[in-house]
Amino acid sequence: MSEFITPAGWEVVIGLEIHAQLATRSKIFSGSATAYGAMPNTQASLVDLGYPGTLPVLNQEAVRMAVKFGLATGSRVADRSVFARKNYFYPDLPKGYQISQYEKPIVEKGSIDVLQEDGITKRVGITRAHLEEDAGKSMHEGLENASGIDLNRAGTPLLEIVSEPDMRSAREAVAYLKKIHTLVRYLEICDGNMQEGSFRCDANVSVRRIGAERLGTRCEIKNVNSFRYVEKAIHYEVIRQIDVLESGGKIIQETRLYDAAKDETRSMRSKEEANDYRYFPDPDLLPVVLDEAFITSVRATLPELPDEKAARFMASYGLSAYDAALLTASRDVAAFYEAVVAAAKPDAGLAKLAANWVMGDFSAFLNRDGLELSAAKVSTSGLAGLLDRLSDQTISGKIAKEVFELMWAEGLSADAVIEAKGWRQITDTRAIEAAIDAVIAANPEQLADYRSGKDKLFGFFVGQAMKATQGKANPAQLNELLKSKLASH
């Protein structure tokens, strides 16, 4: 994709702020449900509405989840963190302040390794991750010159993950974003649903001439809700900034909104006014103090992390770094893969074969039908059964694809499909030889041409012999036998 190449002479500097909604049952400071899609304001309690006299009480699970993230990124988990109030007026912010962490976040100074497409691993610094409450939503449809406020989302716990400005291209930024996405789902602290807004990203983008020491003025791009859009939005912004600077202009530090329909970013005037958030420690909440026992108990719940799993896949299954990274990008896919390998009969090429199938046809079918892994039409044992028939040469790779399609469509086992269709591969040398003999006998002209040097006709004979066996001859055997027959006549 050449369109995403940075113009020569410029360096791009990107930092991301990711807002991950934590997968708690109840809100961060109240006992309201956090489920998505409820009728407006039916999940907004007195606390969420900022009713006079109400007070926040912190959800333990939100704290555990933040700590989990901190431990998984090698960050410092603060033994003492403090909630502050960020004061501003907005209709989706019921109290006129957001409870967030400011000076003393719960997680600080970590990093994550991101495997780039060129095979190079890049370490991205995580400046901090802090707990805060989400705001509500403004709706504009069906109301004349008015907006409707739904506060169901208000108070949903968020982990805001702030990276160092370590990314140098939109590609790198997306790779980092995907890695964090993978991690939070591994840790089961966020469902990662970008459409529903459970995983959101703001990008701080600036450019500078290569060699320049000082960072350029940055713009913050908000409202990007897919990996593809993040890449496009950053790219647009980079080109825009370079255009401005090259034509002698200056970048104004501002918040910009990405408009996916127009593929452009534009200034958010409503947020342009200089913000003075008047942060101060929230007097309704006390310092969050975590002792060693608490942190140890959270550490005990950490799953095998993506990088650890990928390393193990390389070591135990002999997979390439790229395959291992791809398979372990989702904890469910990795588990599926391991279950397939475990269910299939051991064979020298099995691990690689299984990897190709899981990442290949199997994933393609899931995507085609828009299904989650859990709703796949072929089970781990079903796929293992198919791989067994490939390993023992009952069917060819080409037939296997057809078998798989029928397995998916009909819910049958590989053996049942092969049996019903009579697709068992012919490995009987005599039967293959008979078919070859018949083909040679029926095509004397072609035989003569072949022998006079037209090597290309070999393919013709393969095709005819395959046709004669209804495609069931073992291709390798057929090739070998055909070669010797054509030569010996």
Partner 1 sequence: MSLTRKDVEGIAHLARLQMTEAELAAYPESLSKILTLVDQLNAVPTGVIEPMAHPLEGEIQRLRPDGVTETDAHRKYQANAPQVASGLYVVPRVIE
Partner 2 sequence: MTLHTRSLAALALGLTAREFSSVELTQHFLDRIAASNGALNAFLTVTAERALSDAKRADALLAKNQGGALTGIPIAHKDIFCTDGIQTTCASKMLKGFVAPYDAAVVERLTAAGTVLLGKTNMDEFAMGSSNETSHFGPVKNPWDLAKVPGGSSGGSAAVVAARLAPAATGTDTGGSIRQPAALTGISGIKPTYGRVSRYGMIAFASSLDQAGIMAASAEDCAALLAPMAGFDARDSTSVERAVPDYVAGLQQSLKGLKIGILKEFFAEGLEAHTGARVQAAIEEYRRLGAEIVEVSCPNLPLSVPTYYVVAPAEASSNLSRFDGVRFGYRCENPRDLLDLYKRSRGEGFGSEVKRRIMTGTYVLSAGYYDAYYLKAQKVRSLITDDFKRAFSQVDVLLGPTAPGPAFAIGDKVDDPVTMYLNDIYTIGANLAGLPAMSIPCGFVNELPVGLQLIGPHFSESQLLAVAHGYQQVTDFHSRVPAAYA
* Token pair listed for 378: 């072929």
Cβ nearer to partner 2, comparing 30 with 163: 30
5-13, 49-57, 379-387, 412-420 -> range binding partner 2 (CB under 8 A): 49-57
The sign of the CA dihedral 438, 439, 445, 448 is negative
According to CB under 8 A, which residues from 82 to 121 bind partner 1?
Answer: 82-83, 89-92
Nearest CA to 458 out of 480, 435, 473 is that of: 480
333: partner contacted, choices partner 2, partner 1, none (Cβ within 5-8 A by kind): none
Binding of partner 1 by 268 (CB under 8 A) = yes
95: partner contacted, choices partner 2, partner 1, none (Cβ within 5-8 A by kind): partner 2
Binding of partner 2 by 409 (CB under 8 A) = no
Cβ nearer to partner 1, comparing 139 with 434: 139
How far the first Cα of the chain sits from its last, in Å, is 53
Cβ nearer to partner 2, comparing 283 with 422: 283
Cβ nearer to partner 2, comparing 38 with 285: 285
Rounded CA-CA distance 67/340 in Å is 33
Nearest CA to 136 out of 120, 118, 154, 161 is that of: 154
According to CB under 8 A, which residues from 131 to 160 bind partner 2?
Answer: 149
For residues 58 and 109, the answer to whether their CB atoms sit within 8 Å is: no
* Token pair listed for 278: 């008047």
Query: Which of the 8 DSSP states describes residue 167?
Result: B
Task: Name every residue whose Cβ is closer than 8 Å to that of residue 225 and which is 6 or more positions away in sequence.
Answer: 194, 195, 197, 200, 201
Rounded CA-CA distance 323/318 in Å is 10
Binding of partner 2 by 485 (CB under 8 A) = no
| Minimum distance, C-beta of residue 85 to partner 1, in the bound complex (Å) | 11
Cβ nearer to partner 1, comparing 82 with 251: 82
Helix (H, G, I), strand (E, B) or coil at 37: coil
* Token pair listed for 306: 């993506």
| CA separation, residue 41 to residues 16, 74, 123, 154, 199 (Å) | 31, 39, 42, 10, 22
Rounded CA-CA distance 382/395 in Å is 15
| Minimum distance, C-beta of residue 374 to partner 1, in the bound complex (Å) | 24
Strands 219-224, 157-163: parallel, antiparallel or unpaired by DSSP? unpaired
According to CB under 8 A, which residues from 53 to 112 bind partner 2?
Answer: 53-58, 85, 87, 89, 91, 94-97
Cβ nearer to partner 2, comparing 15 with 94: 94
| Minimum distance, C-beta of residue 131 to partner 1, in the bound complex (Å) | 11
Binding of partner 2 by 283 (CB under 8 A) = yes
Helix (H, G, I), strand (E, B) or coil at 298: helix
| Minimum distance, C-beta of residue 285 to partner 2, in the bound complex (Å) | 5
Helix (H, G, I), strand (E, B) or coil at 108: strand
Write the binding mask 38 to 57 for partner 1: x where contact by CB under 8 A, - elsewhere: -xxxxxxxx--x-x-----x
* Backbone angles phi and psi of 50, in degrees to 5: 70, 30
Rounded CA-CA distance 463/457 in Å is 10
165-173, 273-281, 335-343, 401-409 -> range binding partner 1 (CB under 8 A): 273-281
According to CB under 8 A, which residues from 283 to 342 bind partner 1?
Answer: 283, 285-289
* Backbone angles phi and psi of 19, in degrees to 5: -105, 110
Write the binding mask 135 to 164 for partner 1: x where contact by CB under 8 A, - elsewhere: ---xxx-xx-xxxxxxx-------------
> According to CB under 8 A, which one of 24, 101, 413, 464 is a site residue for partner 1?
24
364: partner contacted, choices partner 2, partner 1, none (Cβ within 5-8 A by kind): none
Angle at 342 between CA 340 and CA 344, to 5 degrees: 65
Task: Name every residue whose Cβ is closer than 8 Å to that of residue 233 and which is 6 or more positions away in sequence.
Answer: 203, 221, 224, 258, 265
> According to CB under 8 A, which one of 17, 19, 40, 50 is a site residue for partner 2?
50
> According to CB under 8 A, which one of 139, 212, 252, 286 is a site residue for partner 2?
286
239-247, 276-284, 332-340, 349-357 -> range binding partner 1 (CB under 8 A): 276-284
Strands 219-224, 255-259: parallel, antiparallel or unpaired by DSSP? parallel
* Backbone angles phi and psi of 424, in degrees to 5: -60, 130
| Minimum distance, C-beta of residue 153 to partner 2, in the bound complex (Å) | 15
Which residues are at the interface with partner 1 (CB under 8 A)? 24-26, 30-33, 39-46, 49, 51, 57-63, 82-83, 89-92, 138-140, 142-143, 145-151, 257, 268-270, 276, 278, 281, 283, 285-289
Which residues are at the interface with partner 2 (CB under 8 A)? 46, 49-58, 85, 87, 89, 91, 94-97, 149, 276, 278-280, 283-286
